Amino acid sequence: MLERTENILTMAYKPGDRVGAIFNSDPETVRMFGWGVYDGELPCPHIGGRNNPRITLDDGAGIVWGCESWWGDETKMRAWIGKRKIQLVDREGKDR
């Protein structure tokens, strides 16, 4: 569980920062969209064009929006995941 003093979801980010985007998790597995780059706050088509964090994934799987995921700093995300299994998923949450 995240400590309140280390809340990776409310940190300030700048375009180009390395991040991870998670779909969901349980005690054994973290189902995630992947690792990538924070692009900034950009107009999101899923929420009427309002600005939202956009993440471009490294593996060519496209982009994920902040409103679709739990996301944060890559180093802190990796520490939070720990030894759990990582299962990559697509934007619908289906295993890749």
What six digits make up the tokens of 95? 């295993």
Give residue-wise pLDDT tens across range 57-76: 998 889 999 999 999 999 99
Q: For a pLDDT cut of 70, what percent of the chain falls above it?
A: 89
The predicted-structure confidence for 15-46, as pLDDT tens digits, reads as follows: 999 999 999 999 999 999 999 999 999 999 99
Candidates 16, 38, 23, 4; CA nearest to 81 is 23
What is the four-CA torsion angle of 23, 6, 13, 89, rounded to 10 degrees?
-10
pTM: 0.84
Strands (E), 1-96: 18-25, 29-43, 51-57, 63-65, 70-73, 85-88
